[in-house]
Structure formats: C-alpha cells, structure tokens
Amino acid sequence: MKSFGDQVLSYHFTLKPSVILPQDIEWLMPYDAAETRRCMEVFYHRYYKDKAKRTFILGINPGRFGAGLTGVPFTDPIRLKELGIENTFPMKPELSSVFIYEMIDACGGPDSFYRQFYITSLSPLGFTKHGKNYNYYDDAHLSKLVTPFIIENIETQLKFGADRSRVFCLGQGKNYEFLVRINEAHGWWERVIPLPHPRWIMQYKLKQKKDFIEQYKEMLEVKN
C-alpha cells in the first residue's frame, strides 16, 4: 500500500478533467509544470510519508498565487521557502497562505499539524475568468457542471486515509452549504464543521487575526 503522500501525488499528477467549461472560464491546472511537481514531491514525501489517517480540511478550489502555482493547498512560494523548499516561483504572498501558516505555527508547527490534518479543496483544480480567480460556486451553471467532478474528487481522496468522524470546511457560506448538501447525499463524514475562510479573515478582520487563530486551535483540537 502506498503512503498517504504517494497517493496524493499519484492522484494529482494524473488528473485530467473531462468537463467542458462555460465560455470565458478556464481550468487552472498547475500539476503538469515540472517545478510544481518537484515542490509537491518534496512537500508530500516530507509530511505525508506514512499511512496514517488524517482529518480533512476542505477549501474551495486552488487560486493563482497559492495551490494554483505551487500545487500545495494554502501554501504560497514564500511559505514553501520558509519550510525549506526552495523554488523558482515569484516570491509573492497569498493572504490565505499567510493566515494558514501563522495558525499552523500556533498549533505546534507543520510537522505536528500535517501528521493530523490534510488540507485540500472541494475542487482539486481551480478556475479563472478573464485571467482572475474564479470559484466553482460563482456561476450556477459552472457549479452544476463540476459537481460530479467534485464528488469524484472527494471519494478518491477519502481513500488516502480519512477520519470519517468530522471534516472542516474553510468558508461558512456557499462552500459550506455545498459541502453539507453533498455530504448528506453521500454520507462521507459524520459532521461538517465550518471555519471562517482565511481570505475573509485577512481581508476584512485583520485586527482580529489572533482571535481567529485561537478559534481555529480550539475547534481543530490539535494534539501536540
């Protein structure tokens, strides 16, 4: 049996969506790029080299300056470098990544955190419209088109080794509502627990950032 990390890599490196997207909307597919693959291999072989089950944390879909570039969810090139993973990507910060890694550090650091948690997204591929980030739920037609793809994505990743008692959802609005609905239909997890989205915190609640980090720590129940 492959390690958790090897399963992650095999899945993403062979991902080829068959969905034809609406006009002006394009897939954001980083996993064919050699530098993205190299960074992913270093990251997942370091933090997911075992076969232990993890609690899943689900975002929306990759964006252009985080996972849509590095291949690692909520991890921008600067955070990769801080982990000791040198890379040739532009050193541009991504707000959600900044919050996530401050939270991870507050929870005991990446080694401890990633032993317990696996961060991914409902859609493993992102979307752009006119060159800007776009979410699967921003367009009702797009959402309907990619729902089977999202379901297949979740069911595949559950096989990596998932704690089925709970899942955390990043976002308390549309992402949470969508995940609750499909989870009720498929019975993947016993509980879906919403967390404020890191982007929302950094953009609108920056002064309360420490309070939100404490909220994450309390709700995630991280074991050090």
- pLDDT tens profile 32-77: 999 999 999 999 999 999 999 999 999 999 999 899 999 999 999 9
Please determine, for residue 224, whether its predicted confidence score (pLDDT) is greater than 80. Answer: no
Q: What is the number of alpha carbons within 13 Å of residue 186 lying toward its C-beta?
A: 19
Q: Are the C-beta atoms of 145 and 21 separated by less than 8 Å?
A: yes
Total residue length of the chain: 224
CB atoms within 10 A of CB 129: 17
pLDDT digits (tens, 9 = 90+) for 178-218: 999 999 999 999 999 999 999 999 999 999 999 999 999 99
pLDDT of residue 223: 78
For 132-192, the DSSP string reads: EEE-TTSSHHHHHHHHHHHHHHHHHHHTTTEEEEEEEEE-SSHHHHHHHHHHHHH---S-E
CATH number, domain of 177, equals 3.40.470.10
* Number of domains composing the chain: 1
Strand partners, 120: 58
Sign of the Cα torsion 57, 212, 182, 139 reads: negative
Q: What are the pLDDT digits (tens) for 117-169?
A: 999 999 999 999 999 999 999 999 999 999 999 999 999 999 999 999 999 99
Structural tokens at position 9: 């890599």
Task: List CB contacts of 139: < 8 A, sequence separation 6 or more.
Answer: 22, 25
- Is the pTM for the entire model greater than 0.85? yes
What is the domain extent for residue 23?
Answer: 4-220
| 135: phi then psi, degrees, rounded to nearest 5 | -100, 155
The letter for the amino acid at 120 is T
Q: What does pLDDT average to over the chain?
A: 96
- Comparing CA positions, the residue from 114, 92, 96 lying closest to residue 105 is 114
d(C-alpha 203, C-alpha 22), whole Å: 29
